[in-house]
Amino acid sequence: MATVIDLAPSILSANFAQLGADAKAALEGGGTVLHLDVMDGHFVPNLTIGPPVVASLRKTIPDVTFDCHLMIENADEFIPAFAEAGANWISVHQEACVHLDRTLHLIESHGCKPGVVINPATPVHMLDEVLEIVHHVLVMSVNPGFGAQHFIPNSLKKVETLRRIRESRGLAFRIEIDGGVALDTVGDIVRAGAEILVAGNAVFSHGDIRENASKLLQAARSAASAAAKASPRLRRASTVPRNSKSDRHLRQT
């Protein structure tokens, strides 16, 4: 089974005066998941959107997975509101959650898929105890807070490590990457093992949004299929193992 690659346009770089139209254009171009960045001005030095914006987008985009990336300190207080607003996936930062296991279960209890995020300076092994209960792991490939930053190459090693751990432990979480994903980085990113590709600047900041999304997704899928031909191990790594604990999350996706 070949790796399933999802492109998740990040609306952080969209024109907020025409947010619905920009988001739809990115999805028409090939985006399969909409990535929504929530920032609180405390955990990260920027402010963005809250549940009302998610609810408005949900009205105009009823049938696409909404991936809410919470860069906030008090996630537990807001998870119910984001679920109610229409989030499908909710991810929280390992660095921001004192009771991470509880928070991930809280997300699930509200009918959403739980994801965990790590900053560039956080080692993958900080996630050892929660990998069985997450639907996805999001590797930050920039320091969170802003769009259009340079990709941090060390993130590739972290993606590879996650892929190896998933294979050796027979788990099924998906691997997402966020920050600096563009035509010049996407090949290495996909070859390392990332499957959900968040892209803001490369999709929204210049030229035609549909065309940008389409070219990026095509480049990613070509790299994934070339890598799978070259290495059958990559195909195995992306196959969902039967009876794994996280399998139930994937069946609902």
| 13: contact with ligand DX5 by CB under 6 A | yes
- Give catalytic residue positions: 37, 178
Rounded CA gap, 91 and 75, in Å? 9
Task: Residue 13: name its binding partner from Zn ion, ligand DX5, none (Cβ under 5 to 8 Å by kind).
Answer: ligand DX5
Rounded CA gap, 174 and 168, in Å? 15
| 195: contact with Zn ion by CB under 5 A | no
Task: Residue 179: name its binding partner from Zn ion, ligand DX5, none (Cβ under 5 to 8 Å by kind).
Answer: ligand DX5
Q: Alpha carbon of 158 to those of 177, 189, 190: distances in Å? A: 10, 11, 13
| 176: contact with Zn ion by CB under 5 A | no
Which residues, 6+ apart, have CB-to-CB distance to 156 below 8 Å?
188, 189, 192
The only residue of 79, 178, 221, 223 in contact with Zn ion, by rule CB under 5 A: 178
| 12: contact with ligand DX5 by CB under 6 A | yes
Place of tokens 């989030």: 87
Is the Cβ–Cβ distance between 37 and 71 less than 8 Å? Answer: yes
Is the Cβ–Cβ distance between 232 and 3 less than 8 Å? Answer: no
Distance of CA 42 to the CA centre of its chain: 21
| 94: contact with ligand DX5 by CB under 6 A | no
In whole angstroms, the minimum distance from the beta carbon of 90 to Zn ion comes to: 12
| Sites of contact with Zn ion (CB under 5 A) | 37, 69, 178
| Sites of contact with ligand DX5 (CB under 6 A) | 10, 12-13, 35, 37, 69, 142, 144-145, 147-149, 178-181, 198-202
